[in-house]
A and B are shown apart, each in its own frame.
Chain A
Amino acid sequence: MFRRLPESDTATLRFKIDGRPATGRAGESVAAAMLAAGVVTCRTTPIGGQKRAPYCLMGVCFECLVTIDGIGNRQACLIPLTEGMDIRSQDGARDMAGEPVTEAAP
Chain B
Amino acid sequence: MKRLANVVELAASYDLAIIGAGPAGMSAAVTAAEAGLSVLVLDENGAPGGQIYRGITGTPVKRREILGAEFWRGEEIVAGFERCEASYAPHATAWSLAPDGSKGFEIGVSLGGAVRHIHASEVIAATGAHERPFPIPGWTLPGVMTAGAAQIALKANALVPDGRVVIAGCGPLLFLVTAQLLAAGANIVAVLDTAEPGNWRRALPHLPGFLRSPYLMKGLRLLLKARRANFISRVTALRAEAGDDGCLARVAHTRGSTETTLACDTLLLHQGVVPNINLANAVGCEQDWDDGQLSFVPRIDDWMQTSIPGLSIPGDGGGIRGAEAAALGGTLAALGAAARLGRLSQDERNQRAAPVRAEFERLSAGRAFLDALYRPPKAFRVPAEAETIVCRCEEVTAGEIREVVAGGVTGPNQLKVFLRCGMGPCQGRQCGLTVTELMADARGVSAEAIGSYHLRPPFKPVTLGELASLPSNDAAVKAVVR
The docked-state distance in angstroms from the alpha carbon of A35 to that of B142 is 11
**Cβ of B296 to closest chain A Cβ, rounded Å:** 15
Q: From residue 28 to 55 of chain B, which have CB atoms closer than 8 A to chain A?
A: 44-46, 51, 54
**Contact A105 B112, beta carbon cutoff 8 Å:** yes
The docked-state distance in angstroms from the alpha carbon of A65 to that of B425 is 10
A-contact 0/1 string along B1-38, CB 8 Å cutoff: 00000011000000000000000000000000000000
**Cβ of B455 to closest chain A Cβ, rounded Å:** 13
| Chain B residues touching A, range | 35 or more
**A60 partner, pick from B8, B424, B426, B465, beta carbons under 8 A:** B426
The docked-state distance in angstroms from the alpha carbon of A3 to that of B130 is 25
**Contact B60 A5, beta carbon cutoff 8 Å:** yes
Q: A1-B162, A28-B156, A61-B429 are in contact. Are A104 and B465 (CB under 8 A)?
A: yes
**Cβ of B50 to closest chain A Cβ, rounded Å:** 9
**Contact B146 A56, beta carbon cutoff 8 Å:** yes
B-contact 0/1 string along A19-62, CB 8 Å cutoff: 00000010111001001100011100101101111111111111
Q: From residue 55 to 98 of chain A, which have CB atoms closer than 8 A to chain B?
A: 55-63, 65, 73, 78, 80
**A40 partner, pick from B63, B247, B430, beta carbons under 8 A:** B247
Which of B319-327, B389-397, B442-450 sits within the interface?
B389-397
A-contact 0/1 string along B170-197, CB 8 Å cutoff: 0000000000000011000000000000
**Contact A2 B153, beta carbon cutoff 8 Å:** yes
Q: From residue 58 to 72 of chain B, which have CB atoms closer than 8 A to chain A?
A: 58, 60-63, 66
Contacts of A104 on B, CB cut-off 8 Å? Answer: 113-114, 465-466, 468-469
The docked-state distance in angstroms from the alpha carbon of A25 to that of B60 is 9
**A61 partner, pick from B7, B113, B163, B426, beta carbons under 8 A:** B426
**Contact B60 A9, beta carbon cutoff 8 Å:** yes
**B157 partner, pick from A28, A40, A41, beta carbons under 8 A:** A28
Q: With contacts defined as CB atoms under 8 Å apart, how many contacts are there between chain A and chain B in the complex?
A: 144
- Whether a CB of chain A sits under 8 angstroms from the CB of B79 is no
**Contact A60 B130, beta carbon cutoff 8 Å:** yes
**B246 partner, pick from A1, A51, A57, A106, beta carbons under 8 A:** A51
Q: A1-B163, A62-B393, A80-B46 are in contact. Are A52 and B60 (CB under 8 A)?
A: no
The docked-state distance in angstroms from the alpha carbon of A18 to that of B382 is 38
**B469 partner, pick from A51, A53, A73, A105, beta carbons under 8 A:** A105
Q: A32-B159, A48-B395 are in contact. Are A102 and B426 (CB under 8 A)?
A: no
**B149 partner, pick from A8, A58, A78, beta carbons under 8 A:** A58
Which residues does A use to contact B, with CB under 8 Å?
1-5, 7-9, 25, 27-29, 32, 35-36, 40-42, 45, 47-48, 50-63, 65, 73, 78, 80, 102, 104-106
- Give the 7 A-B residue pairs with the shortest CB-CB distance, closest first: A53-B142, A8-B60, A8-B158, A62-B425, A57-B149, A105-B114, A104-B469
